[in-house]
Chain A
Amino acid sequence: MYNFDFIKPETLAGAVEALAGEDAQALSGGQTLLPSMKQRLNAPATLVSLTGIAELKGVSGRAGASVTIGAATPHAVVAAEAGAFYPALADLAGGIGDPAVRNRGTIGGSLANNDPSACYPSAALASGATIKTNIREIAADDFFQGMFTTALEPGEIITGVSFPIPEKAAYAKFQQPASRFALAGVFVAKFAGGVRVAVTGASEGGVFRWTEAEAALSANFSPDAIAGMAPPAEGMIGDLHGTPEYRAHLVGVMTRRAVAAAH
């Protein structure tokens, strides 16, 4: 890893100022950024830690309405505290990586990184969440713009994420057994106005909404409504862990499991 300056501000304003510097980058839990810097895929001049900023941490909400998670809140805290408001979101957080990863990795880092196999982007997209930054609010439908690409501008900091709470929801993940990332993961959320289905792990384009399944499930929220259905294999990731056809098939299976498990 190349060397860099390390800054740990205590306020959001301090972080915004530090990130305006040349080649400065935000560091949250470091569970993605530090491994990529070790591989020299990334070599910022300055790292600005967000984990000392109290206003970026915590879980708050109103039962049945919404829950807001501070960007620097670790997965373990979401797993422990979000369940009272949004059980499916807490379940998802509790299944990310392993306990040590969950103690450091954060929701803001996961969304900003938009890894095509990451779990949180599917929850944000399926829930129709709002991503809040230091300058604006971005709807999840506009935030994710393909593998490792988001609507964030350089130096823009995610401060928190607000999730509307569905009537029922669940996340079903088929783990890649070595990395524990999703080989295919599907988050299903049933709202009064319809069902949203977001798929991670599978597509070359990153997280996406499977609209065909949404229409079928909005008419009849049951695994039977999508029996035998799968998205097209074209555009799915093909690698040593699975072919595009395998991933497309898994998406159908995981969607049915998520519908069956929704609570």
Chain B
Amino acid sequence: MTKVTMTVNGRSVSGEAEGRTLLSAFLRETLGLTGTHVGCDTSQCGACVVHVDGKSVKSCTMLAMDAEGASVTTIEGMANPDGSLGTLQQAFQDHHGLQCGFCTPGMVMSAAALLAVNPKPTEAEIRHHLEGNICRCTGYHNIVRAVLAASGQDVSALAAE
């Protein structure tokens, strides 16, 4: 075991990790941040997406030790400081962008990465960007509406389905 130190949601944290400890396992099991979900564990579904130094990555496909010294943001870091839902989270709730909620942490983190570089994405850009995030419930439509709404755009043009 080796001590790994990183900044998670603005706080410096340390924990023990083996070589094979995945970032997803380190976040969930060592730090108790179970908001990051592991859906497939085969790099396909995007449920485990977090930000590492500002970039979206699949935390099931990165070693905890490779994140030594990095700045990591998880879904727990997306709420407002008072604990209320952040803009993007609230938009998912308002527009029914989730049903079972399993994919939602990854969806929110991927969408946040998009909005950071493209504050007013088109519907096509949103769909393209979320290609690596799989949802088995919603049919994606309301997820796209939620991201449009969170970026301050009119969603009425997008027909309800």
Q: Which residues on A are within 8 Å of B, measured CB to CB?
A: 1-6, 8, 27, 30-31, 34-35, 37-38, 47, 49, 51, 76, 97-101, 103-104, 178-180
Cβ-defined contact, A98 with B57, below 8 A: no
The 7 closest A-B pairs by CB, nearest first: A98-B132, A6-B19, A103-B55, A4-B19, A6-B65, A1-B20, A98-B131
Cβ-defined contact, A2 with B20, below 8 A: yes
The residue of chain A having its C-beta at the shortest distance from the C-beta of B66 within the complex is A49
Interface size on B, residues (CB 8 A): 28
Cβ-defined contact, A35 with B43, below 8 A: yes
Question: Is B36 part of the contact surface with A, judged by Cβ < 8 Å?
Answer: no
Q: Which of B41, B58, B68, B113 has the most CB of A within 10 A?
A: B58
Cβ-defined contact, A31 with B20, below 8 A: no
Contacts of B110 in A (CB 8 A): 99-100
Within 8 A of A (CB), among B59-79: 61-63, 65-66, 68
Contacts of A104 in B (CB 8 A): 57-58, 61-62
In the assembled complex, the CB of B65 is this many whole angstroms from the nearest CB of chain A, namely 5
Contacts of B114 in A (CB 8 A): 99
Cβ-defined contact, B56 with A103, below 8 A: yes
Cβ-defined contact, B19 with A5, below 8 A: yes
The residue of chain B having its C-beta at the shortest distance from the C-beta of A5 within the complex is B19
Q: Which of A4, A100, A104, A178 has the most CB of B within 10 A?
A: A100
The residue of chain B having its C-beta at the shortest distance from the C-beta of A6 within the complex is B19
Show 29 residue pairs from A and B whose CB-CB distance is below 8 angstroms, ordered by the A residue.
A2-B20, A4-B19, A4-B20, A5-B19, A6-B19, A6-B66, A8-B66, A27-B63, A27-B66, A34-B22, A34-B61, A34-B63, A35-B43, A37-B20, A38-B41, A47-B63, A49-B63, A49-B66, A51-B66, A76-B55, A98-B131, A98-B132, A99-B56, A99-B113, A99-B114, A100-B110, A101-B43, A101-B132, A178-B44
